[in-house]
Chain A
Amino acid sequence: MSTQPLLEVDHLKVDFRTDEGLVHAVDDVSFRLGQSEVLAVVGESGSGKSVTAMTLMGLTRSPNARFEGSARLRGQELITASDDELRKLRGKEIAMIFQDPMTSLNPVHRIGKQIVEQIQAHDDVSDAEARDRVVTLLDRVGIPRSRERIDSYPHEFSGGMRQRVMIAMALSCDPGVLIADEPTTALDVTIQAQILREMRDLRERTGTSIILVTHDLGVVADIADRIAVMYSGRIVETGTLDEIFYDPQHPYTWGLLGSIARIDRPRPHRLPSIPGQPPSLIDRPEGCHFRPRCRHEFEDCPKYPELEGRIGQAPGHDDRCWLPVEEKRDRRVVADGQIGLEAEGATA
């Protein structure tokens, strides 16, 4: 590694005490985020991707939460930072875009005022100066007639426009890291594409690094440099976009890729899905968490799989599956050139 990564997360663990027992929401998550890199964290609901993102912001702190491991932003530890230190970083160094733009804006404030608030929470600038910055920001995220719209209320905006406002707000202090937690889930497909294009442009223009949390591999293909696939609180596979899409190592990744509806393939009888349910985060299977749903299970699976390079010639492409590489490459092909967990109709 030649340059110091912007964000280093090492063996991060997050547990929550609940009435039902200890919930292991995030378990041994490690990753690196470089300057102006887009890392997509992919996984189904409850895989710990949002908790990972929120923990970096310190938003999961509560008397019932327990943290282990470390996360360093430009060398500064985030997990053990005081609330005060963290508050100075939030919005300024790490900003977040939330899932639902309809509820993320305070309904009683004009949108311009909300962004001005954020700017003034971190920088000592005059109202007029902050306002000018807001106009520039709104222009940058593609809000027409920004000089007038700055005085509108959130209810006068559509969902896509509100999400642009949220992005403008997140970008207002030029953060080094932008965390986008399912930023397009609540939007229609056409608006999704616009917002993603907007984010890609922003990365190119401002050099912001982005952590994109999503369950949609289609979104990822558009914008990500690297992908981390999460399952049951762990990263089960991580690699570059091409590595994950063309040489996936973990059966869960195969399942995800196999369940994308594709327009360039013959229409399947039924869209393939991954059988079974995600495991409970309280009482997890021993060893590989995906074991109960995996049809390639064998005797090594109950052993704890480290996230490590198992291919040899591809540094940075790590996974947590015990199967030998050659066998993986053989087993993941379910049909002519198609990757999946199992062939169509295998469970029927």
Chain B
Amino acid sequence: MATEPTVKPTDPLTATPATLDPAQVDPAAPPATGPWKLAWRRLRRNKVALAFGVLFVLLILSALAAPLWAEHVANTTPDRNRLADQIIVDGKPRDIVSVRGIPMGPTWRGEYFLGADENGRDVMVRLLYGARNSVFIGLTAALITTVLAVLLGLLAGYFRGWIDALISRGLDVLWAFPVLLLGIALGVSLATEGLSIGPITVAGNSLWIPTLIIGFVGIVYLARPVRGQVLGLREKEFIEVARAQGMSDWRIMTRELLPNLFSTILVFFPLIMANAILLEAALSFLGAGVQAPSPSWGTMIDTGLDRLRGAPHLTIAPGVMLIMTVLSLNIFGEGVRDALDPRAKVRLEH
């Protein structure tokens, strides 16, 4: 183990000031065990959470490798239509899309590994490119949520008074809206007109539209717990000490309070990201998220729904990807929470 001390440290009680000669100070003293190291040790023992963490990393890597698969294995692009073509499978020619309009099922080899869709596009390739979009939106939206929610929670909890009232009531309003309806309303209106704030213009079919919407509606989930925690922390004696040291409010918030919030943020982040990916799929499924022809798991399920009977792989494949991604994030997130706060009441049974 890397943390094993190479030299046994002298007992601090028996070490008298006379032995404090700098030359004698042992340079290989064990590094201090910080709270993060302790949490990592606990997480490392939770094999299930680690396995799902690894699964999530694999999903991300496969999304990153999408162009490699498309170019070298499937020999196609996510948008290439091959409606009237045939390919040779096991020596026999097969229609990519039959004359009755039913797309071919999985071939389990390079080209059309998971079959074709209604336009003769390679489902596997679109799935991988869709993963890129989903993960990009999930990650970016979760980052936007976290930054804004932590900022709002810190300001509300630290300053209290009218700042808190303003922020909390704003969150209440946001909370009162059904998230999905708010997302659809924003998505539909922004998708047709695009977004332009000052010099920044975002086109209606840009991925940033759903990303911003999802990041925005997620704020309530994190801002409230952060505010609550800050309200508790600000009464702690070390904050009083910081004030007595002459630290400014901003410094107290960023240097004293924020580091104490990291464990909360770390616990919430994977869960928020899972939520964001789900919401993206839901919005895309309803046509208010990622716009065609950009692939997304939500739109793929949406278009596959019409052909559920003849070509179930169109809905099953993106559905399974969605479940795996969200499940891995949730279970890994629970593991992180158990590691950071072993006394948390809600635990996952193994």
Interface residues of A (CB under 8 A from B): 57, 59, 87-92, 95-96, 98, 100, 103-110, 117-118, 121-122, 139, 142, 144-149, 151-153, 156, 166, 169
**How far, in angstroms, from A99 to B212 measured CA to CA in the complex?**
48
**How far, in angstroms, from A105 to B260 measured CA to CA in the complex?**
12
**How far, in angstroms, from A88 to B247 measured CA to CA in the complex?**
9
Query: Cβ of B199: which chain A residues have Cβ within 8 Å of it?
Result: none
B265 → A minimal CB distance (Å): 13
Q: Are A88 and B238 in contact (CB-based, < 8 A)?
A: no
Q: Choose among A57, A90, A103, A106 the residue with the greatest number of B CB atoms under 10 Å from its CB.
A: A106
Q: Residue B35 contacts which of A92, A144, A153 (CB distance < 8 angstroms)?
A: A153
Which residues of chain B (1-44) have a CB below 8 Å from chain A? 9-10, 12, 15-17, 19-20, 22, 25-26, 29, 31-35
Q: Are B25 and A156 in contact (CB-based, < 8 A)?
A: no
Task: Take A139-B17, A153-B35 as given contacts and tell me if A106 and B246 are in contact as well, using a CB distance cutoff of 8 Å.
Answer: no
**How far, in angstroms, from A173 to B16 measured CA to CA in the complex?**
26
Query: Cβ of B32: which chain A residues have Cβ within 8 Å of it?
Result: 110, 151-153, 156
| Selected A-B contacts with CB under 8 Å, 15 pairs | A88-B246, A89-B246, A95-B245, A121-B247, A121-B248, A139-B20, A142-B17, A144-B12, A144-B16, A146-B20, A147-B22, A153-B32, A153-B35, A156-B32, A169-B245
Enumerate the 8 nearest inter-chain pairs by beta-carbon distance, A residue then B residue, closest first: A90-B246, A91-B246, A91-B245, A103-B237, A144-B15, A96-B244, A108-B259, A118-B245
Chain B residues with a Cβ closer than 8 Å to the other chain, count: 35
Q: Are B246 and A121 in contact (CB-based, < 8 A)?
A: yes
Query: Cβ of A166: which chain B residues have Cβ within 8 Å of it?
Result: 241
B212 → A minimal CB distance (Å): 32
Query: Cβ of A107: which chain B residues have Cβ within 8 Å of it?
Result: 35, 238, 260
Q: Are B238 and A104 in contact (CB-based, < 8 A)?
A: yes
**How far, in angstroms, from A96 to B33 measured CA to CA in the complex?**
29
Given contacts A104-B237, A105-B241, 10 further A-B contacts (CB under 8 A): A57-B244, A98-B240, A98-B241, A110-B34, A118-B245, A142-B17, A144-B16, A145-B25, A146-B20, A149-B12
B55 → A minimal CB distance (Å): 30
**How far, in angstroms, from A95 to B244 measured CA to CA in the complex?**
7
Query: Cβ of B262: which chain A residues have Cβ within 8 Å of it?
Result: 108
Q: Are A90 and B260 in contact (CB-based, < 8 A)?
A: no
Q: Which residue of B lies closest to A144 (CB)?
A: B15
B251 within 8 A of partner (CB) = yes
